[in-house]
């Protein structure tokens, strides 16, 4: 999967989407070439953080912002239950890595379709408040950037690989 650097000059939508794609691809790159066991390797106690957990979390995040906020769909969030609200992160021991990657990519593609069909100032609803597509894009960039920092450390722990 090829990652493209964001342009230095572009219109607002192109700039936001290119930064989001850059960060999505960065997480995908951090997961490339690893075994299922390596994807499930936890960081350092007491944290339960894994690369697989990050992928599952990002699938849930994409689903939540596109389907729940922007489309106002009633959905059951991926990997979380009332008993395990952080199941995306915590319940990875028996999780299927290929399924998680496919779910994440499906939700990412769906989010792109939803946002492409809306203007940046169009709104969905989050916690009873209007929430613009622009805000969602900036938030997704922030979410991925933060978690890519985690992914850097996890990947270095797994096989010593560093870099962007």
Question: What is the spatial distance between Cα 34 and Cα 128, in angstroms, rounded to a whole number?
Answer: 41
CB-count exposure of residue 92 (10 Å: 0-12, 13-18, 19+): buried
Question: What is the spatial distance between Cα 94 and Cα 37, in angstroms, rounded to a whole number?
Answer: 10
Q: How confident is the model at residue 117 (pLDDT cuts 50, 70, 90)?
A: very high
pTM, full prediction = 0.96
Question: What is the spatial distance between Cα 58 and Cα 100, in angstroms, rounded to a whole number?
Answer: 10
Q: How confident is the model at residue 163 (pLDDT cuts 50, 70, 90)?
A: confident
CB crowding 119-150: b at 16 or more within 10 Å, else e: eeeebbebeeeebbbbbbbeebbebbeebbeb
Give me the pLDDT at residue 1, please: 58
pLDDT tens, residue by residue, 12-63: 999 999 999 999 999 999 999 999 999 999 988 889 899 999 999 999 999 9
Question: What is the spatial distance between Cα 164 and Cα 156, in angstroms, rounded to a whole number?
Answer: 11
CATH topology for 35-159? Answer: 1.20.120
Question: What is the spatial distance between Cα 143 and Cα 51, in angstroms, rounded to a whole number?
Answer: 15
């Amino acid at each position: 999967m090829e990652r493209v650097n964001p342009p230095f000059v572009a219109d607002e939508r192109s700039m936001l989407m290119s930064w989001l794609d850059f960060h999505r691809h960065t997480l995908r790159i951090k997961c490339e070439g690893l075994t299922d066991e390596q994807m499930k390797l936890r960081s350092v106690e007491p944290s339960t953080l894994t690369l697989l957990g990050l992928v599952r979390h990002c699938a849930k995040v994409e689903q939540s912002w596109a389907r729940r906020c922007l489309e106002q769909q009633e959905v059951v969030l991926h990997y979380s239950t009332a008993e395990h609200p952080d199941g995306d992160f915590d319940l990875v021991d028996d999780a299927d890595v290929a399924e998680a990657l496919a779910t994440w990519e499906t939700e990412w593609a769906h989010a792109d379709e939803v946002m492409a069909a809306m203007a940046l100032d169009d709104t969905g609803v989050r916690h009873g408040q209007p929430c613009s597509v622009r805000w969602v894009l900036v938030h997704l960039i922030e979410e991925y950037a933060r978690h890519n920092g985690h992914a850097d450390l996890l990947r270095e722990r797994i096989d010593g690989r560093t870099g962007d």
